[in-house]
Structure 1
């Protein structure tokens, strides 16, 4: 593995950093403690295996960040690879594995799921995380991890690094193969034992076979005699059976004729019933036609009355509108007249006041006295006004309430007018609904008739189906008989053929007799099959016709429920329209009452009564606004008198104005009175109103007569349906009579066919009576022959089985020799693979490989250690040691027992001692030498090409001389690695490397700087 590029994002102490390893051979990663030196290298292990010093997966994410991503590019097996690992906080992560193609693009090898992709990476690298950190990566504080492992675990790590697991796989395969050969040998041994037991039965089976052959010869002789006797009886039985079959056909035909006669009679009865119904309806044709004409006459009268009713309503509405307009204009003129008369009264009053003022102008003293008197009067009237003001306000409120009630009544009247118009629109649709309902009734009646006819077709179809099934069973039975006869004929056609029944040889005469009999029987069956198939085809065609008619009627009847639903809806609409007509009369009555109330102002009676009482109370107070105003005027006039000449001049000027105003008002009042008189007597509106009243009287509309005609028409609606049925009966009667004639003709033909069938049945019965019935004797002989055949079959089966057993035993005898040889071969193969299992096992080749590699590892370790310790220490690897019991003095050398191990013994000038007794610096140099030797050894072997060496923070325990020796050792092995990285914070150590990767901790996370 040669690193090329490492990119970190939010990994441990790094926020965003990238390191390019291109051109780096031996470099030092330096920086203060906690700067992120180890984190930089752990980014490689996290990217490849997802492992670092973080306890949980989310701990690898920088504080405050939500995701982490590490992108590591390296060379492996001559290929450029890239691994990208990412993770979201509190979520799942992602892993991608890519290889660069010849075009420079990366091709993804990522599998479905992180586990599958990780397995692919491990398989590609041929090394896992534990092996990596125990060889090429000396982690901070983990330099002695290989040394501190148990001897067995240490040996397993060495085996993994040397790829000795493939020998373990070979051992497993050899073990499985040995088991297979052992199992095959055991099975073959059991088979040989069984074969020996079977071969002992040959003599007994041979004797039993000879006895069975003698019994078969005896049974065959008896069978020939019985079959000859049976054939003579069967010839007579076939003649009888032929007549019986003909009798059966005739009887079946007779039954069918009886069924047909029954069906014809049923159809005639139904048609006669329909004919009687039509006749009874046609007899009443004059009555129904007359009633229908009366119905049409009522419809015409109703139409005339409906038009009169519409005209009558429109005229009434117009009369009311004209009356309202006339009254409204009259009221407006009267209001104008009242205002003019009030204004004239005020003018006259003003003249009187001015005259008084002018009359008293010369008497100032008298005017002053009068002024005092009128001032007292004004004070009294002010008191009365304070009492009257609340009453006047209450009067205004009552008048407002009465006006609102009037508005409500008017709104109700408008609503009734609108509802009346809507009901009239729906009532006009009534006749259309009646016509649609009549059409639906006709269609539903036709569908009901078709439903009855469909039921008859269904019954006929069931009868045809039963006949088809019966004929189909007969044909299949005949065909089975034909197959049996054809087999017999094929046997008889062969020269020197045996009897197909008894299997005995036949002479020429006997063979010809049997052949002729079989052919005659076959021809008879052919005729019966032809007759059955012809009759079968006839029934099938008739049934198909019935099915087609049934389906056609089904399609026609599909909409019957929809039609009934439509009829129900139309009837409901007609009923609702009838109810609306009743509502229309109620609305007219209610509308007249409201109009009367508006006209006579008889609404809001309580408010009207309260207003009348209030007016009486106001009148009792004896307060007059006019008197109040006159008193104030008098006071004002007397005040003017105080002004003497100015006041008199003003009075003279107003006197002249009042005279002119009085003359103008008198002219206006006369004109208004003349207009009111003209409006009430000879205006256009009055003339139009009288004309409308005359039109209403001339119309002569009678509401009661209109209701009577409507009721009569509703009661006579059923006559329309009767008239339609009468028309349908007139059209249907000729067709019905034709069908009755056809059925009567069919009935006569059926009677003649039944008579002929009865004669034929009697004739065949006589023929059958002449032939004796040998069925009992035939059944007895056939039963005896069947038993004989069964005995023969059993004996033949037995002898066949015995012959087969003998053949198999002879074959077993021949196979026995080869199976014994094969058994010896299986045992030999099992022995070979058992030896291979031991050879490939841990105590075989694997142990031998380790034994061979350890001297080289030991020599390489001591060579490095001698440079680091100035030849003071020596390492020795021990792979076996005696067990605890074998270490006693009594145990001999031959009887001593040894176990596999991988102990490391360290020697110095004072002898050997345990690894734990060495100081930190000494222990590190020992660990480092072994680890470097191991990494160098792995790089020399082609198994797992670890071309990168990482030493993380191992120099802190060394003095100056030790550090120099470590640097010298690293330089000595640098040619064996593509990249060596050392990590330290010691200034004197990092200066020894030409290339430095300095790591600094900043506010934005750890930062990287490469110095060459």
Structure 2
């Protein structure tokens, strides 16, 4: 993994500096004053790649005062360029993170995320072939943690070395060997069970042959009995069918007989009905002379009725006309009377308006209203003043709330700074020196004092506002009591003005209305209206007298019409009887002939019905015999099937036994092969286990690791010190235990790590960590091409620092990028390129020099 570029936003001390490029750098020094954020840049790399940094929570990495942060890192791996971007935002409900992973090709970036952050992180680890713990224990010498590998237990050191060497694949191989061994054992168990089953079946072969012979004999006997019963059954096999046909014929014949009997009854009814028609027609024809005379009298009366009916219609129309004219005259009189009533009502209203105007003193009302309107203007101005004071008071209260919140935040920051006992400032992420602590405390306390003074000024302003507001509200209360009568006074003033205006208009209209009323009353008294209607009414009454309609003569004629009315119906019946008598006689003769034919056919069908019943009785006896024989055939067939099934089962089992004999040889060969494979898998499981190939790889890597570490250590100590690594230790019981112990020697002999000075310990740790980094770059397949060294030089004297720089220069060709972090000026000048980190008002910035 080779970092190419990093871009930060709101990460610890960094706000939004320009992207930082590492392309083509080789060896460089990351420098700047303590606390400016040098180590934070490496934290940003590890947080982007693995979501891990020195802080315990991601929220602690967000720049103070901001709610979100992001880091985007471009790196090269196996010839491809990738970009990983990690984001974190703080919300009211907690915090939320996001992770994106791209591959950067010629056609632009292509997102290769998985469906969640956990799987995307696993994909990044798989691409890097490296996790966070392995990285920080080899290629990343963190500030204050150079001894992270040395101080681990022997088991933990061996685990880290195994991860660096990529030995986890051997654990996968061991697991696969165990799985295959378990599967092979299950298969062998199945084959052994199958062989046992085959042997048991072979022992049953003689018994099965005897059962086969017995089944064949029983089958032959049952088949002979079946043939005999079947022959007897075939003779009566169609009896049921014949019985069904005869029953069907009988049902049809019975139905036909019943239907014909209904027809006979219907024809008999028709004969009776036609006979009644003939007799009715003959009776009416005998009364023909009487009917003719009465009908002639009826016709004469109807002619007279027509003339009188015409006179009556004319009389009724003229009477209706007279009533209509009389109603119209009455309506004209009523209309004139209504107009007079309306005028009388208007005269009374005008007189009331003139009287009401005198009851209001308009001048006094105007004076009272002017006084109250002046008072209302003063009230409105006071309300505006009170509103302005309330708004000013609200603003001061809001300012106090903000001051309390900010003051609480400052107190929390003072408390965090007072509790801090580490080397990192909890507020800005920089180095926490005594001077830095005092400066921060003084700055925060000064801010808090300024806020307290502003808070006290707000309290004084609030008191003055409350006094002015209370005085204005007292005046408003008094004015409100006086202004309570203003709406009523305004209504009275409006009413008085309206009454005065109406009185002036009413005085002029009153004389005109009185003149109109006198004219209408004169016309009604003289009946001076509807002259044309009166003329038409006189003409209608004269026409009534001219017609001369006699109502008594008309009543006598109506009585005569009623007496002769029945002859109208009798004449119609006589004509109908003369027309229908021949048809009734013909229909009677036809119905009589049809009845005779039906009676003859009914006698023939009844004879057939008796014959069918005799045939059905004989067939029912044959059907009983057919059922008995069919049951015997079914039982015998079941016997034949059972015997045949026994024969077939015995034959199949014998064939299966024969096939088992053939299959036994194949299974025995396969079982031998599986046993051989089980032996191989057992050996592979041991070889892939912890004490097998992985132990051999570690044993082969230890000399290289020891050689590289000693070469660097000798360079830094002028050959005075050396390291020895051992992978086995003898237990008290005498057997050997797997371990990874570190033995350190100098010109005084071998001593524990804890007895060396700080400078010597750092050189030991540095040599081991560089050797681990080289081993990781060469063997793990992770293509580690970068080395990061964060501080640690403060424990070295001038000679020691020169030795470290010489050692770093010696391993320069093993890495594409070596980045050394320091604030020591003379050490900084030993490197060709400087990445200067500076803190500004807009956040920390980085520039190459």
TM bucket (normalised to shorter chain) is: 0.5 to 0.7
Aligned with 1:16: secondary structure? Answer: coil
Correspondent of 2:109 among 97, 106, 111:
106
2:158 is equivalent to residue 155 of structure 1 = yes
Alignment of 1:644-655 (within 5 A): none
Aligned with 1:183: secondary structure? Answer: helix
2:689 is equivalent to residue 841 of structure 1 = yes
2:694 is equivalent to residue 870 of structure 1 = no
**1:687 positional shift:** 3.5
Partner residue of 2:222?
A: 219
Aligned with 1:820: secondary structure? Answer: helix
**Given that residues 315 and 695 in structure 1 are in contact (C-alpha distance below 8 angstroms), is that contact kept between their aligned partners in structure 2?**
no
Alignment of 1:252-263 (within 5 A): none
Partner residue of 1:918?
A: 756
Aligned CA distance change for structure 1 residues 962 and 786 (closer, same or farther; 3 Å): same
* Structure 1: runs of 5+ lacking an equivalent: 269-297, 340-391, 399-671, 701-740, 887-896
**1:849 positional shift:** 0.9
Correspondent of 1:784 among 632, 640, 644:
632
Partner residue of 2:781?
A: 943
**Given that residues 326 and 686 in structure 1 are in contact (C-alpha distance below 8 angstroms), is that contact kept between their aligned partners in structure 2?**
no
**Given that residues 165 and 780 in structure 2 are in contact (C-alpha distance below 8 angstroms), is that contact kept between their aligned partners in structure 1?**
no
Output the CA distance in 2 between the equivalents of 1:972 and 1:778: 116
**Given that residues 191 and 667 in structure 2 are in contact (C-alpha distance below 8 angstroms), is that contact kept between their aligned partners in structure 1?**
yes
Output the CA distance in 2 between the equivalents of 1:175 and 1:13: 52
Partner residue of 2:562?
A: none
**Given that residues 165 and 775 in structure 2 are in contact (C-alpha distance below 8 angstroms), is that contact kept between their aligned partners in structure 1?**
no
Output the CA distance in 2 between the equivalents of 1:873 and 1:190: 67
Aligned CA distance change for structure 1 residues 696 and 987 (closer, same or farther; 3 Å): farther
Partner residue of 2:65?
A: 64
Partner residue of 1:144?
A: 147
Partner residue of 2:250?
A: 247
Output the CA distance in 1 between the equivalents of 2:189 and 2:799: 71
2:180 is equivalent to residue 172 of structure 1 = no
**Given that residues 319 and 693 in structure 1 are in contact (C-alpha distance below 8 angstroms), is that contact kept between their aligned partners in structure 2?**
no
**1:233 positional shift:** 2.9
Output the CA distance in 2 between the equivalents of 1:199 and 1:674: 146
Correspondent of 1:803 among 636, 651, 662:
651
Partner residue of 2:343?
A: 325
Aligned CA distance change for structure 1 residues 184 and 327 (closer, same or farther; 3 Å): closer
Partner residue of 1:396?
A: 359
2:82 is equivalent to residue 73 of structure 1 = no
Partner residue of 1:825?
A: 673
1:556-585 alpha-carbon deviations (Å, 9 max, x no partner): xxxxxxxxxxxxxxxxxxxxxxxxxxxxxx
Partner residue of 1:95?
A: 99
Aligned with 1:173: secondary structure? Answer: helix
2:839 is equivalent to residue 1001 of structure 1 = yes
Aligned CA distance change for structure 1 residues 322 and 144 (closer, same or farther; 3 Å): same
**1:990 positional shift:** 1.0
**1:328 positional shift:** 5.6
2:2 is equivalent to residue 2 of structure 1 = yes
Partner residue of 2:569?
A: none
**Given that residues 329 and 530 in structure 2 are in contact (C-alpha distance below 8 angstroms), is that contact kept between their aligned partners in structure 1?**
no
Output the CA distance in 1 between the equivalents of 2:193 and 2:718: 72
Aligned with 1:798: secondary structure? Answer: helix
**Given that residues 26 and 981 in structure 1 are in contact (C-alpha distance below 8 angstroms), is that contact kept between their aligned partners in structure 2?**
yes
**Given that residues 315 and 696 in structure 1 are in contact (C-alpha distance below 8 angstroms), is that contact kept between their aligned partners in structure 2?**
no
**1:86 positional shift:** 1.2
Partner residue of 2:577?
A: none
Please report the TM-score for the alignment, with normalisation by the length of structure 2: 0.63
Output the CA distance in 2 between the equivalents of 1:677 and 1:143: 125
Output the CA distance in 2 between the equivalents of 1:116 and 1:304: 110
**Given that residues 851 and 879 in structure 1 are in contact (C-alpha distance below 8 angstroms), is that contact kept between their aligned partners in structure 2?**
yes
Output the CA distance in 2 between the equivalents of 1:932 and 1:697: 137
Aligned length: 590
Alignment of 1:751-770 (within 5 A): 761-770=609-618
Aligned with 1:876: secondary structure? Answer: strand
**Given that residues 237 and 773 in structure 1 are in contact (C-alpha distance below 8 angstroms), is that contact kept between their aligned partners in structure 2?**
no
1:573-623 alpha-carbon deviations (Å, 9 max, x no partner): xxxxxxxxxxxxxxxxxxxxxxxxxxxxxxxxxxxxxxxxxxxxxxxxxxx
Partner residue of 1:206?
A: 209
Aligned CA distance change for structure 1 residues 328 and 773 (closer, same or farther; 3 Å): closer
Aligned CA distance change for structure 1 residues 136 and 328 (closer, same or farther; 3 Å): closer
**1:133 positional shift:** 0.8
Aligned CA distance change for structure 1 residues 107 and 313 (closer, same or farther; 3 Å): farther
**1:1002 positional shift:** 2.6
Partner residue of 1:196?
A: 199
**Given that residues 336 and 520 in structure 2 are in contact (C-alpha distance below 8 angstroms), is that contact kept between their aligned partners in structure 1?**
no
Alignment of 1:171-570 (within 5 A): 171-235=174-238, 238-250=241-253, 316=334, 318-325=336-343, 396=359
Aligned CA distance change for structure 1 residues 688 and 118 (closer, same or farther; 3 Å): farther
Partner residue of 1:857?
A: 705
Correspondent of 1:128 among 125, 128, 131:
131
**Given that residues 28 and 835 in structure 2 are in contact (C-alpha distance below 8 angstroms), is that contact kept between their aligned partners in structure 1?**
yes
**Given that residues 679 and 686 in structure 1 are in contact (C-alpha distance below 8 angstroms), is that contact kept between their aligned partners in structure 2?**
no
Output the CA distance in 2 between the equivalents of 1:673 and 1:49: 106
Partner residue of 1:971?
A: 809
Output the CA distance in 2 between the equivalents of 1:998 and 1:673: 109
Partner residue of 2:44?
A: 43
Partner residue of 1:813?
A: 661
**Given that residues 234 and 778 in structure 1 are in contact (C-alpha distance below 8 angstroms), is that contact kept between their aligned partners in structure 2?**
yes
- Provide the aligned C-alpha RMSD in A: 4.2
**Given that residues 171 and 840 in structure 1 are in contact (C-alpha distance below 8 angstroms), is that contact kept between their aligned partners in structure 2?**
yes
**1:685 positional shift:** 8.1
Aligned CA distance change for structure 1 residues 751 and 49 (closer, same or farther; 3 Å): farther
Aligned CA distance change for structure 1 residues 236 and 156 (closer, same or farther; 3 Å): same
1:289-323 alpha-carbon deviations (Å, 9 max, x no partner): xxxxxxxxx9xx99999999999778635532244
Partner residue of 2:20?
A: 19
**Given that residues 138 and 951 in structure 1 are in contact (C-alpha distance below 8 angstroms), is that contact kept between their aligned partners in structure 2?**
yes
Aligned CA distance change for structure 1 residues 253 and 828 (closer, same or farther; 3 Å): farther
Aligned with 1:110: secondary structure? Answer: coil
Partner residue of 1:288?
A: none
Aligned with 2:848: secondary structure? Answer: strand
Aligned with 1:146: secondary structure? Answer: coil
1:126-149 alpha-carbon deviations (Å, 9 max, x no partner): 111111111111111111111122
**Given that residues 326 and 685 in structure 1 are in contact (C-alpha distance below 8 angstroms), is that contact kept between their aligned partners in structure 2?**
no
**Given that residues 523 and 529 in structure 2 are in contact (C-alpha distance below 8 angstroms), is that contact kept between their aligned partners in structure 1?**
no
Aligned CA distance change for structure 1 residues 697 and 195 (closer, same or farther; 3 Å): same
Aligned CA distance change for structure 1 residues 231 and 329 (closer, same or farther; 3 Å): closer
**Given that residues 10 and 65 in structure 1 are in contact (C-alpha distance below 8 angstroms), is that contact kept between their aligned partners in structure 2?**
yes
**1:1004 positional shift:** 2.3
**1:818 positional shift:** 1.6
Aligned with 1:900: secondary structure? Answer: strand
1:501-546 alpha-carbon deviations (Å, 9 max, x no partner): xxxxxxxxxxxxxxxxxxxxxxxxxxxxxxxxxxxxxxxxxxxxxx
Output the CA distance in 2 between the equivalents of 1:832 and 1:304: 138
**1:61 positional shift:** 0.6
**1:679 positional shift:** 6.3
Aligned CA distance change for structure 1 residues 758 and 993 (closer, same or farther; 3 Å): farther
**Given that residues 30 and 836 in structure 2 are in contact (C-alpha distance below 8 angstroms), is that contact kept between their aligned partners in structure 1?**
yes
2:121 is equivalent to residue 118 of structure 1 = yes
**1:253 positional shift:** 7.1
* Structure 2: runs of 5+ lacking an equivalent: 271-315, 362-508, 538-586
Partner residue of 2:289?
A: none
Please report the TM-score for the alignment, with normalisation by the length of structure 1: 0.53
Output the CA distance in 2 between the equivalents of 1:311 and 1:953: 129
Output the CA distance in 2 between the equivalents of 1:307 and 1:36: 119
Output the CA distance in 2 between the equivalents of 1:160 and 1:986: 34
Aligned CA distance change for structure 1 residues 307 and 778 (closer, same or farther; 3 Å): farther
**1:947 positional shift:** 0.5
**Given that residues 865 and 873 in structure 1 are in contact (C-alpha distance below 8 angstroms), is that contact kept between their aligned partners in structure 2?**
yes
1:386-424 alpha-carbon deviations (Å, 9 max, x no partner): xxxxxx9999389xxxxxxxxxxxxxxxxxxxxxxxxxx
